[in-house]
Structure 1
């Protein structure tokens, strides 16, 4: 606290000086009354632990005050100094050292406020001075702490008004100038501090004959100080409540963030398990928890791709390659020496700099380095609703799934596509491999309920749709006639994907279809146009990739 290593702190019940605490400069000792820590016992006090002082703020404030004396009350009174002047200088020293301490440790203000409110101010009711000297001392102790930032102006208004009434406006202004000047005094400057003490005494002596002392001045000062104590206590309580509210809000926010991270981790683990079970080698239909479903498989068989589908896959492959192409980047650098192309203007400038006797800074050789930009791969996931209302989408989506998978395999070995049919169960129609399927998987739509959220999780994990660096597209073929819970879960997944930069397209085939919030809605009056729409969206996705 004081920055000194030579101090001895003695803490015992009662003190030699009779004060709650005292600093003895000649002994290098701080004396401390152990009763300030009541009701805590010595073994319960651990000041080396940061934050432990919050359990005894008043005692810690007194300790900080004495540490401020040890650090800043370095000046010593010369032999033969007037005791009254020295006493006035020490009175000014009380607020000066606290103000100097706050410059290096502003967070100690709370403890200095508490000690001033609970220990310093009540002691004013037992004055050592009488008459206007008592009012002047109260002003120095309370208003001086106001001017160094310990107390607030609004809190000390009662004492300020009473002191102005007792001392007069002119004398109070003079005393204020004296303690304000003392606050700027250097720690070692005994001459200046004693000069301020002399000015204090002279100002009181000059004004005393003309200032009548009000009857019951001690009671008036005690009442005003009590008002200051109450206002300071209310301010401290409000600050503490605000700090507690902020801490609780931060804790709640941290807890919510931790719960959100834990929920996302659970969701990722569940998505990984779902993807592993859905993209199985046997093409079995599974429940959302990954267990095989004994019935409900929408797959009706496979067939050879038609010539039109093969042509469409070839066209899409060429379009994807064109969209993925990136121009070579050029990086130009200059240097004072070869290799590189010689720039005559820069060469002449370099010769001129050398002839002028200055350090040559011109770099006449230019080198151009051209680099090929990597082409981004493609990630396309298709989720098709196979509930009874989506039967018209079966043939075009089966064709589109094969076309996209075939085109992606022909475009880039790192490209992946996958298609999942979902109702209450999940069935993989194509899997995220680098090999194109040889045959078209056909399916029917006879299911019930909808499990789009788990289908999105499986596609996201299997194709890494949330990870940047690839052209990413999720196509949802559905009329979106879902229950509220099914819709909410699906919209949450869609929002996570769009936030991660993945494009999400919803294809609908009927005018009665609903729009899933967060998706780009595309209505197809002709189901046969679904392959072309998906191909265009995939091309746009890879073109936008950076």
Structure 2
């Protein structure tokens, strides 16, 4: 029986102090409040645990208390007749009570041992629906029955809530270690207790075989293999016993006592302090607890990584949905500028577009040159596959042919393959997806003309590479304005002013990403940004996060600068230009280099 039983028909006897307090309240005095600066916090935590208990135990009629120390002396206890559950506040150490909020879903991850003890008592509240008759309490059969009920209740709980397994595992050190110390003798009864607490939990699906191996070896050396198998049969039968079948549990307990040569009607056998093998069980139990703790730590890291991946995936999906909404607002039929956030009232954003013009012969030539360079960037080398066979076609390998003849002459099954064949396959050239973002803030005023030319050259070249290639162009300051709609090859050069305020590059990238599929695999993807990079720290950080995310998916990012001393974002390929119409070759080389470092 555990040193401090924690499933008792009623709480321990009321102390004189508690009786005096009860009489004080009956006489009209104020309700007693525990002393201490944190008493109110523990009352709040107890109330929150009481609100969470129905989801664990399926009951809402149990009062939960949480304070330093319990009346039973156990870390946690459940009193079925008085419908009370108590838990020692020290289990939450080293957390400050003000930081504990059981009502917040997932908060239990911060105190798994305390939540495991709470879950264990909730399992008793849900499934320990029987009590030992008063005439049998304090006997060996009562101790054996309570011992068997430990793993039976947890086994029944796992059938309802398998996800609580990791918390129940955390109770091994809390609920079991204190029952064994280095002065405990390793006699037959104590060995049975250790087996009933740990090996029975293994069979209940809470502990793993590798974790319980130390205690199994120690218990087997004390009890013998046959007796241990007999005890295992008893606790396995208890695991299948119904919650209300107290009579069957007492029969299992009697069989337990008989197997260990203990009088069921007598008191629980007292360990002989003069017996041999002192502390052997405590050492084995300690090894089990240490292995469980180590495995729990590994599992916690795995769970944390899985949760992080799920959160990242959810955030990515949410961002993709937001980007799609941004693209709808930017590439609207009216081509009105879109201002992120809440625009100022009475001040509608002004479009930077001032008109269009026919491209020059030089710009057309540059677009054609760039188109060829982009095709080269997207081109994939042909693959070569060499296969061996026993029969033609192919090239004959004489050494393999002689080996095959020798195998046949020896009567063996021929395995040599004298014919080799080389097959060359051309991989499909993927279409291009190009997004172009042009900075039209005031610092880019002198570069407005070359930027317009560069934007048209890149968009036109993309359309010339492949019928399935697509591009889109936007201009951005504090607003984002569509220049070229997704998938449309511009026939004329769009002209614009660069006198805006702010930089909504992050939203511009979002709109382009969603519009032309800059994260879509199987295509050659390129984002072109024309800017000097003179942004506020917040603007730069938000845009840099988008660039990093694009780079992670295999999209190249080319940064075009038209003035000296640009400050491009990290992860971009910088190209400084004076006249883009005369620098198509430079743009093409930079695009080839950028695309070559990415994957489709």
**TM-score, normalising length from structure 2?**
0.55
Distance (Å, rounded) in 1 between the aligned partners of 2:450 and 2:417: 63
CA contact (8 A) 1:13 1:35 kept: no
Distance (Å, rounded) in 2 between the aligned partners of 1:532 and 1:59: 72
Hey, what does 1:32 align to over in structure 2? 145
CA contact (8 A) 2:437 2:508 kept: yes
Out of 517, 521, 524, the position equivalent to 1:471 is 524
1:503 Cα deviation after fit: 2.3
| SS of 2:385 mapped into structure 1 | strand
Hey, what does 2:436 align to over in structure 1? 382
Out of 329, 332, 345, the position equivalent to 2:399 is 345
Distance (Å, rounded) in 2 between the aligned partners of 1:542 and 1:58: 56
Hey, what does 1:143 align to over in structure 2? 279
CA contact (8 A) 1:324 1:375 kept: yes
Out of 361, 370, 387, the position equivalent to 1:316 is 370
Hey, what does 2:386 align to over in structure 1? 332
Matches within 5 A, 1:375-414: 375-414=429-468
1:267 Cα deviation after fit: 1.9
CA contact (8 A) 1:376 1:545 kept: no
CA contact (8 A) 1:13 1:33 kept: no
Matched, 1:371 2:425: yes
Q: CA RMSD in A?
A: 4.8
CA 1:295–1:350 in 2, change beyond 3 Å: closer, same or farther? same
Which has the higher Rg, Structure 1 or Structure 2? 1
1:315 Cα deviation after fit: 1.5
| SS of 1:366 mapped into structure 2 | strand
Distance (Å, rounded) in 2 between the aligned partners of 1:280 and 1:127: 83
Distance (Å, rounded) in 2 between the aligned partners of 1:295 and 1:89: 86
Hey, what does 1:190 align to over in structure 2? none
CA 1:500–1:34 in 2, change beyond 3 Å: closer, same or farther? closer
Matches within 5 A, 1:84-483: 90=188, 94=192, 105=209, 134-137=272-275, 139-140=276-277, 142-146=278-282, 149-151=284-286, 259-288=311-340, 294-433=348-487, 435-483=488-536
Distance (Å, rounded) in 1 between the aligned partners of 2:301 and 2:387: 53
CA contact (8 A) 1:319 1:539 kept: yes
Distance (Å, rounded) in 1 between the aligned partners of 2:315 and 2:199: 51
CA 1:533–1:395 in 2, change beyond 3 Å: closer, same or farther? farther
Matches within 5 A, 1:61-100: 90=188, 94=192
1:540 Cα deviation after fit: 2.5
Residues 243-264 of structure 1, C-alpha deviation per residue, up to 9 Å, x if partnerless? 9999998887776655544433
1:355 Cα deviation after fit: 0.6
1:357 Cα deviation after fit: 1.4
Distance (Å, rounded) in 2 between the aligned partners of 1:474 and 1:244: 45
Residues 269-298 of structure 1, C-alpha deviation per residue, up to 9 Å, x if partnerless? 12111112322344332233799x954111
Distance (Å, rounded) in 2 between the aligned partners of 1:490 and 1:59: 50
**TM-score, normalising length from structure 1?**
0.60
CA 1:57–1:21 in 2, change beyond 3 Å: closer, same or farther? farther
CA 1:143–1:504 in 2, change beyond 3 Å: closer, same or farther? same
| SS of 1:476 mapped into structure 2 | strand
CA contact (8 A) 1:383 1:456 kept: yes
CA contact (8 A) 2:349 2:479 kept: no
Out of 553, 556, 577, the position equivalent to 1:503 is 556
1:368 Cα deviation after fit: 3.0
1:407 Cα deviation after fit: 1.8
Distance (Å, rounded) in 1 between the aligned partners of 2:390 and 2:316: 55
Distance (Å, rounded) in 2 between the aligned partners of 1:44 and 1:352: 66
Distance (Å, rounded) in 2 between the aligned partners of 1:318 and 1:539: 10
| SS of 1:301 mapped into structure 2 | strand
Distance (Å, rounded) in 1 between the aligned partners of 2:350 and 2:282: 80
| SS of 1:150 mapped into structure 2 | helix
| SS of 1:297 mapped into structure 2 | coil
| SS of 2:506 mapped into structure 1 | helix
CA 1:105–1:331 in 2, change beyond 3 Å: closer, same or farther? closer
CA contact (8 A) 1:285 1:425 kept: yes
Distance (Å, rounded) in 1 between the aligned partners of 2:337 and 2:189: 88
Distance (Å, rounded) in 1 between the aligned partners of 2:174 and 2:587: 74
Stretches of structure 2 lacking an aligned partner (at least 5 in a row) = 1-129, 181-185, 217-266
CA contact (8 A) 1:325 1:375 kept: yes
1:452 Cα deviation after fit: 0.7
Distance (Å, rounded) in 2 between the aligned partners of 1:481 and 1:426: 17
| SS of 2:549 mapped into structure 1 | helix
Distance (Å, rounded) in 1 between the aligned partners of 2:577 and 2:327: 29
1:398 Cα deviation after fit: 1.5
CA contact (8 A) 1:274 1:289 kept: no
Hey, what does 2:72 align to over in structure 1? none
Of residues 274-283 and 448-457 in structure 1, the stretch that sits farther from structure 2 once superposed is 274-283
